[in-house]
Chains A and B, each alone.
Chain A
Amino acid sequence: MDGQRGNRAGIFKTLYRVVAGSQFMGDMTRSVSEMPLIKRWWLLFCLIGAAATGCAAGKLNSARDAFYTSSPEQAATVLSETQTPSGRNELLFYMEKGTILHHSGDYQGSTEVLLKATALMEAQDIISASRQGASLVTTEWLTDYKGEYAERLLVHTYLMMNFLLMGKPESALVEAKQALEIFDKYPDACDNDIFTRALIAHCFEVLGEINGAYIEYKNLAQLMGDPTPVAGKLCELAGRLGFYDDVARYSAYLPPGMAKETVDPCGEIVVFCSQGRAPVKIPHDIVLPPSIRFSFSTYESRHSRFRPPAVGPLAGSAGAAIITTDVEKLLNASLKERLAQILLKETARVAAKEAIAHNIENNDAELLVRAIFFLLEMPDTRCWQTLPAYFSLVRVPVSNKDHPIRLRGIPSAVSLPETCKTPAGGAFYQYFSIRTP
């Protein structure tokens, strides 16, 4: 901590020397006019970079604040008045807007925005040489925000939830398949997200793709270590597929009294619970003489502890299956996956800046360029801030009779139906998305 304060003091001292030691404006005008043409271009380029990075996404921040302090509806109003930013922060805007609209109950609006996000993520697969080149001598903020791997996965998670809530399971399965591609591509970064895995398995199950559902539930059981929350599903699907040895294997994990329950449920109440606030990125600096600033970001927690959503009591039900993803753990794993890439680029940027500054012959101009480079070296702290700290999937089996459904630990403001009537015969699913502080 003291070291960090010392570093900050060093930064200010250096900057003071830059400004005071050069009798600023007059000296600078003379210095710049004496510079070779090519170096003047460099200076102009750096200044444009500085100006570009200074633009703040004010409306987006206002919407984020409104989302937490007042209501998602208020936040959605703020965003509806904002024009979609193009370029660097476009994806971030879509992510935040998609979440806000989802929690304000506008699932169609949220879907439209998040589908734009997925299209953009695909377009961003091509690395922009101009932006990457510019960021190499300025700052990472100049590049398009591509989202952490886990954030890219969660775009599909929200789309799956939206499509299920809108009664479009076929489209939810399309998103499930796209989410699976991300799981396959970045397993270390995303495997902690058991909520999304469970949602994928559910999408297969809803459409009667029992083979796909069985594979996904098995993968989920493997990732969780303890297959108890999905043992009922595994027994049911294994039985339908004729895998009787697996039925015997997973029956051992069934809670007492649940075996009978799995035989006769004709539907389920499925609740997507979002709890708390996801961590945000905070900046860190390491300063080395003469003016090398090595900056990076880490996630900082904004939530204290997880309170599991409790469901019940349901007449005749052995209880609900709850599967929870710790978003902080997921995002940290995702950032860790990119660590080598971040370090490599940061080192390259520091080296490039040092080489440019070192080659300037005029001392005053060198000092000015070093000061600009120093100020531009800011860690990229952009992140999806309206994500929850925890995602929980709560599944409550219901039978043919009327059953009162109550969620314990959920504020009374959450509007869940007191009674759910299941249709006679056939699988029945009723979905809810709720958000708690």
Chain B
Amino acid sequence: MFRNFVFKGFFWMAAPLMLLMMTGCSATTRDFSPDDTLHYDESYDFTDKKTIVNDLVSSLVSKPPLVARYDRPVIIVYGVANRTSEHIETSGITDDIRQEIMQSGKARFVNKVQRDNIQSESDYQYGGNVSAETRLQRARQVGAEYMLTGTLRSIKKKQPKQVRLKKKTLQYYSLTLELTDLQTGLIEWTDSAEIVRESSKPFIGW
């Protein structure tokens, strides 16, 4: 009698639990706006990229030399060096910076990434298949006046060992950009955007 009671009790407790677990396992999707702030952990993510790009571009276009220029000077982007301890694709940062500056109408950019393809297309047009009237003119490319470079750095600090249920990590990111005048070699503008974030992770999980 008692054994039956225990068995039934166990069944009625286990069944809803199983149901709950199965519901938790079902696949779901949700859409977010790219402007929303979302972080799952302390590491670098798309929200950080957006923040630092916005901060730096508004600084670049609102300060000399670009603020005083109305002739849209030509810039070449030489990439952002990744000096963090994470594998971060920094070309995403430079793409966004270029896009934001272009949209501000303050500067133009040399397409460095496509140089080989431009050369190849030029060679093709002069290969005899393209009519002389429509073929591009050589030696008409525009030279860059400024060079944009940067460095992404990070410092990670973990909470020292002590009795606790969660471990905390402090993560610092800094992106420094520099605009160099290619003729004089002088750095005409520099600024940095910083992000500091604390996250905690439990020691024990199921």
A residues with CB within 8 A of B = 37, 115, 125-130, 170-171, 173-174, 177-178, 181, 207, 209
Q: Is the CB of A130 within 8 A of B85?
A: no
For B81, the chain A residues whose CB sits under 8 A away are: 170, 207
Contact of A171 among B3, B87, B206 (CB under 8 A): B87
Distance, CA A177 to CA B81, complexed state (A): 15
Which of A115, A128, A178 makes the CB contact (< 8 A) with B205?
Answer: A128
A129 x B204 contact (CB < 8 A): yes
Is residue B7 contacting chain A, with contact meaning CB distance below 8 A?
yes
Using CB atoms and an 8 Å cutoff, list the residues of chain B in contact with chain A.
3, 6-7, 81-87, 156, 201-206
In the assembled complex, the Cα of A37 lies from the Cα of B5 at a distance in Å of 11
Cα distance A207–B205 in the bound complex, in angstroms: 40
Residues of A within 8 A of B3 (CB): 37
- A48 to B205 Cα, complex, angstroms: 22
User: Complex formed: what's the CA distance from A111 to B6 in Å?
Assistant: 53
- For B84, the chain A residues whose CB sits under 8 A away are 174, 177
CB distance from A108 to the nearest CB of B (A): 14
Find chain A residues with CB under 8 A from B6 CB. 37
11 example contacts (A-B, Cβ-Cβ < 8 A) are as follows: A37-B3, A37-B6, A37-B7, A125-B201, A126-B203, A126-B204, A126-B205, A129-B204, A170-B81, A181-B85, A209-B83
Which of B84, B85, B203: most chain A CB closer than 10 A? B85
B206 proximity list for chain A (CB < 8 A): 128-130
> What's the Cα separation between A63 and B9 when bound, in Å?
49
- Return the chain B residue nearest A127 by Cβ: B204
Please state if B86 and A126 are interface contacts (CB–CB under 8 Å): no
B124 to A: closest C-beta gap in Å: 29
User: Closest CB of chain A to B52's CB: distance in Å?
Assistant: 19
**Distance (whole angstroms) from the CB of A232 to the closest CB of chain B:** 26
Do the beta carbons of B87 and A177 come within 8 Å of each other?
A: no
A37-B3, A37-B6, A37-B7 given; A173·B83 CB < 8 A: yes
Q: Which residue of A lies closest to B43 (CB)?
A: A122
Which residue of B85, B156, B203 contacts A174 across the interface (Cβ within 8 Å)? B85
Question: Which residues of the other chain, A, contact B204 by a CB distance below 8 angstroms?
Answer: 126-127, 129
Chain A residues with CB under 8 Å of B202's CB are: 126
Residues of A within 8 A of B205 (CB): 126-129
Specify which chain A residues have a CB less than 8 angstroms from the CB of B87 in the assembled complex: 115, 171, 174
A174 x B201 contact (CB < 8 A) = no
For the complex with contacts A37-B6, A125-B201, A177-B85, 15 further pairs of A-B residues with Cβ separation under 8 Å are A37-B3, A37-B7, A126-B204, A128-B206, A129-B205, A129-B206, A130-B206, A170-B82, A173-B83, A174-B82, A174-B84, A174-B85, A178-B85, A207-B81, A209-B83
A40 to chain B, nearest CB (A): 10
Task: Give the shortest distance, in Å, between B45 (CB) and chain A (any CB).
Answer: 15
Give every chain B residue within 8 A of A209 (Cβ-Cβ). Answer: 83
With A and B bound together, what is the CA distance between A115 and B87 in angstroms?
A: 10
A289 and B201 CA atoms in complex are apart in Å by 43
Is the pair B201, A126 in contact by a Cβ cutoff of 8 Å?
A: yes
CB of A174 within 8 A of CB of B7, answer no
A373 to B180, CA, bound (A): 72
Residues of A within 8 A of B203 (CB): 126-127
Contacts of A171 in B (CB 8 A): 87
Q: Please indicate which of the listed interface residues B7, B203, B205, B206 has the most CB atoms of chain A within 10 Å of its own CB.
A: B205
- Using Cβ atoms and an 8 Å threshold, which residues of chain A touch B156? 181
* A181: B residues at CB distance < 8 A: 85, 156
- How far apart are B132's CB and chain A's nearest CB, in angstroms? 39
B15 to chain A, nearest CB (A): 16
